[in-house]
Structure 1
Amino acid sequence: MSGATRSPLSIVVHLSVLLLVALWTLPTAGLLISSLRDKDQLAVSGWWTALSTSTQNLVYRAPSPETQVERDGKFVVAGNVMEGQQAEVSAFGFNSREPAAFQPGETVQMNDGERLTVQADGTFEIVSDTRMEGTRGQRIFFTAAIPPRFTLDNYREVLRAEGIGQSFINSLTVAIPSTIIPILVAAFCAYALAWMRFPGRAILIAVVVGLLVVPLQMSLIPLLKLYNGVGAFLGVPAKTYVGIWLAHMGFGLPLAIYLLRNYMAGLPKEIMESARVDGASDFDIFVKIILPLSFPALASFAIFQFLWTWNDLLVAIVFLGTGNDELVLTGRLVNLLGSRGGNWEILTASAFITIIVPLIVFFALQRYLVRGLLAGSVKGG
C-alpha cells in the first residue's frame, strides 16, 4: 500500500507501535548508559547528559604539610586537584561556606596566613613564609567542568565485591533446567493429547485448561509441604536446586501443554498418516516430525518460561533459601536496594547484569514468538 493510500488506522497503528518501542527501549538504554558512567557524574546528572560536559562541585584534600618543600625562602605544598583527570577549574575556595569564591589564577590569603593559588588546569600551590605544621592537608573546594567519562569499574565492583557474580550463576542454575525440563515433559504430554486416542483424554485436556487459572501463591505452600514430606521420607535436603526445578516445572506445565497441544493438533494430519503407513511408531513420529515442526511453539514458550524463572523471587526464596551462596539475582538486587540504595552506579550495573541474559534470549528467539503463540492459541483439534 503506498503512502498516498495509507489509511488513518494504519498510521495510528504504526505510531502506536513506535511509541511502545520507544517506551520499552529508552529505559533499557538509560540503564546501560548509567551503568557505564563515572559515579560522580552519575550522581549529579541524568543519563541523557552523558555525552555533554558536566559542572561539578568537588573537594580535594591537599598533601599534608610533611610534604612541603623550601623554595626561595618560602615553604610550598603543590599538586593538582584534578589528580590527573582532564578538566577545567572555573572557581575555587578554601572554605565550605564559600566553595566558589575565587577565580582560577587568583592568590588568596587563608586564615592561618598561608596563600593558596589554583590554576585553571587544576595545579595549586600553598605557600607559607614559615614552616607549616600539622598532619592533615588543607581542603580545597573547586568547581570544574568535567568531560564525559565512561568506565567498567562499576561492573568490576559489583561482580567482585557485591556477590552479583555468584547470584548470576545461581540464577542460571535455576532458570536453564527450569526451562528445559517443562518443555521436554510438556512436549510428550502435548503429543499424546493431540494425536493419541485413549480414555479420559478430553478430561485431561479440561484439567490442563483449569490449571491455567490456579494462582501460584495458592498452591505454593501445599506444594512445599508435599516436597518436604517426600524429601524427609527419602532423606533428601529440603533446600536444593532439584526442589526449585520441580516447582517451576509444576507451575509451567499447564501453559506449556496447552500451547504445544494446540499447535501440534493443527499440524497436517496427512504427514502422520503417511509416517504410520511407512511403519513409524509414535515415538519416531514425535521425534522426527512433530518436534521439528513445533519449534516456533517450543521457542515461544521457552521465552516466557525463561523470563519467569529468571525474574522469580518468591519461588526461589521458598525452595532455595536466602543464604549468601543460594541467593538469586532478584534477591541480591533487593538486598542492594537496602544496603546500597544511594549508590546509583552499583544499582544500575547490577540491574543491567540482571536483564542482559533475558534480552539475549528474547532477541534470539523473538522471530518465533508471535508465530508460535498465534498458532498455539487458534489451532486445535
Structure 2
Amino acid sequence: MDSIAGTKSSLTWVVNITVVLLVVLWTLPTAGLLISSFRDRDQITASGWWTALSASEQNIGFRAASPEEARPEGDLWVITGNAFGTEEGTLSRFGTSSRAPAAYEAGTTVEDDGARITVETDGSYRIEYATQPEGRRGMRIFGTAVEPPAFTLANYERVLFSEGIGQSFINTMTVTLPATVIPIVIAAFAAYALAWMQFPGRALLIAVVVGLLVVPLQMSLIPLLKLHNAVGIGKSYLGIWLAHTAFGMPLAIYLLRNYIAGLPREIIESARVDGATDFQIFVRIILPLSFPALASFAIFQFLWTWNDLLVATVFLGNTEQQLVMTGRLRELLGSRGGDWEILAASAFVSIAVPLVVFFAMQKYLVRGLLAGSVKGG
C-alpha cells in the first residue's frame, strides 16, 4: 500500500511547499508596491525597494563656482563651495569626468586641467590654480552621494489631492456598490425558483444559465451599448449598473442555486406544511441560511467591478467626472510613465479597498463555493 491509515501522504510536503511558494509570489510584489509608494523618485530610480532600509548610493553631478569668484591665497587662486549647496549630504567618491564619476576617494587631492581639486565627504570642495583662472563657467565635478533611508507621505498627498484620484475613488464606489447589490438580489430570487419551485422549462433555464457562463462579455459590449443608446440611458451610471448586473448574473444564479438546492429539504417542507408562502420561505429561511453563498459572490462581484476598466470605459466614459480608479491609473501611466512613486501610491490606493473587503469576508468564500457541490436539487 502506498499509504497507511493514520499517516500522512508523502505528497503533503509537496502541497505545503507549493502553497508557501504561491503565497510568497503573491505577497512580495504587494510588499514591494507598498514600500515603493513611501519612497521618493530619486530613491526608486537609484535602488530597489528591498534596499529601502539601507543607505543607497547615487551618482550626481554639480558645477563648481565660476572662475570669477576665485580669490587669491598666497601664490594660489582658490575656488571653494559645497556640492550640496545649503543642504547636508555625504559623498563617498568623486571624479572629474562623467565617464568615471567615482574615480577617487572623497578627501583626496587630484590634479586635472591645470588645477588641484579636493572634494571632502561632506561635499565641500577646494580648487587651486597657480594663476588666475579665466572663463565664466565653473568646472564640472561628479560624485557618488550616499543617501540615507527615508520615507514620505508626499506621494499619497499628491495622489489623493492633486491627481484626481479622490473623484475617481468616489466614481468607483458609485459604480461598484449598486453593481454588487443588484445582481445579488435578482439572482437570489432566481436561484430559489430554480432550486425549489416546479414549473415548465426549469431544466432548460438551468442549462441556459450554465451556457452563459462561457460566453465572453466582449461579444455583447457594442450591441448592449447600442441598446442603451436606443432606450435613452446611454453612458450613465444606470447603464453601467445594468451592464455589470447582466454580466454577473449567470455566475450568481449558478452559485446561489447550487447552494440553495443543497439546503435540507425537511426545513422547506415543514415551512410549507405550516402554511408559509414561497416568499416567506425565501425571506425568513433561505436568505439567512444562504449568507455564505451570498458573501462569496459579493466578493467576486465587488472585486470584478472595482478592478474593471473595459466595461467602465464602454458604458460610462472617460471624462474627469466619470473616470473610475482603473481609468485614472491608466491616465497616470500614460502621462507620468517615469513617476513610479506616483504610480505605486495610486495602485496601492486602488487595491486597499478590495483587500479590506476580501479579508473581512474570506471565511465565507470557501464555504459558499463548496456548499452544494455534492448534493444538488
Shorter-chain TM-score bucket reads 0.7 to 0.9
Partner of 2:16: 14
Alpha-carbon contact 1:65-1:77 (below 8 Å) kept: no
| CA 1:36–1:80: 2 relative to 1, 3 Å | same
Deviations 1:41-65 (A, max 9, x none): 2112222222222221123467889
Alpha-carbon contact 1:51-1:148 (below 8 Å) kept: yes
| CA 1:229–1:51: 2 relative to 1, 3 Å | same
Shift of 1:302: 1.1
Counting only pairs closer than 5 Å after superposition, residues 1-381 of structure 1 correspond to structure 2 as 5-60=7-62, 78-79=81-82, 81=84, 84=87, 87-93=89-95, 95-106=97-108, 117-124=118-125, 140-231=141-232, 236=233, 238-381=234-377
Aligned partners of 2:64 and 2:365: how far apart in 1? Answer: 60
| CA 1:11–1:142: 2 relative to 1, 3 Å | same
Aligned partners of 1:131 and 1:163: how far apart in 2? Answer: 53
| CA 1:62–1:322: 2 relative to 1, 3 Å | farther
Residue 37 of structure 2 aligns to a residue in which SS? helix
Shift of 1:334: 2.4
Deviations 1:323-379 (A, max 9, x none): 233222222222333222222222222222222222222211111111111114444
| CA 1:223–1:63: 2 relative to 1, 3 Å | farther
Aligned partners of 1:96 and 1:183: how far apart in 2? Answer: 63
Structure 2 length normalisation: TM-score?
Answer: 0.85
Deviations 1:265-284 (A, max 9, x none): 11112222333344433333
Shift of 1:81: 1.2
Deviations 1:202-226 (A, max 9, x none): 2222222222122101122221111
Aligned partners of 1:372 and 1:307: how far apart in 2? Answer: 16
Alpha-carbon contact 1:297-1:376 (below 8 Å) kept: no
Residue 145 of structure 1 aligns to a residue in which SS? strand
Q: Which letter does structure 2 place at the counterpart of 1:167?
A: S
Structure 1 length normalisation: TM-score?
Answer: 0.84
Aligned partners of 2:352 and 2:47: how far apart in 1? Answer: 24
Deviations 1:217-252 (A, max 9, x none): 112222111111111xxxx4x211111010000000
User: Identity across aligned pairs (percent)?
Assistant: 67
Residue 143 of structure 2 aligns to a residue in which SS? strand
Aligned partners of 1:138 and 1:173: how far apart in 2? Answer: 59
Alpha-carbon contact 2:65-2:80 (below 8 Å) kept: yes
Q: Which letter does structure 1 place at the counterpart of 2:329?
A: L
Aligned partners of 1:50 and 1:299: how far apart in 2? Answer: 38
RMSD of aligned alpha carbons: 3.2
Aligned partners of 2:64 and 2:274: how far apart in 1? Answer: 88
Residue 36 of structure 1 aligns to a residue in which SS? coil
| CA 1:368–1:61: 2 relative to 1, 3 Å | farther
| CA 1:60–1:328: 2 relative to 1, 3 Å | farther
Aligned partners of 1:62 and 1:180: how far apart in 2? Answer: 65
Shift of 1:173: 1.7
Shift of 1:164: 2.5
Q: Which letter does structure 2 place at the counterpart of 1:39?
A: R
Alpha-carbon contact 1:91-1:142 (below 8 Å) kept: yes
Aligned partners of 2:11 and 2:270: how far apart in 1? Answer: 46
| CA 1:42–1:318: 2 relative to 1, 3 Å | same
After the TM superposition, which of the residue ranges 94-103 and 332-341 deviates more from structure 2? 94-103
Residue 58 of structure 1 aligns to a residue in which SS? strand
Alpha-carbon contact 2:155-2:342 (below 8 Å) kept: yes
After the TM superposition, which of the residue ranges 192-201 and 363-372 deviates more from structure 2? 192-201
Residue 10 of structure 1 aligns to a residue in which SS? helix
Aligned pair count? 370
Residue 21 of structure 1 aligns to a residue in which SS? helix
Aligned partners of 1:348 and 1:82: how far apart in 2? Answer: 31
Q: Which letter does structure 1 place at the counterpart of 2:255?
A: L
Alpha-carbon contact 2:108-2:118 (below 8 Å) kept: yes
Shift of 1:196: 2.4
Shift of 1:103: 3.3
| CA 1:157–1:69: 2 relative to 1, 3 Å | farther
Alpha-carbon contact 1:186-1:253 (below 8 Å) kept: yes
Alpha-carbon contact 1:260-1:376 (below 8 Å) kept: no
Alpha-carbon contact 1:75-1:132 (below 8 Å) kept: no
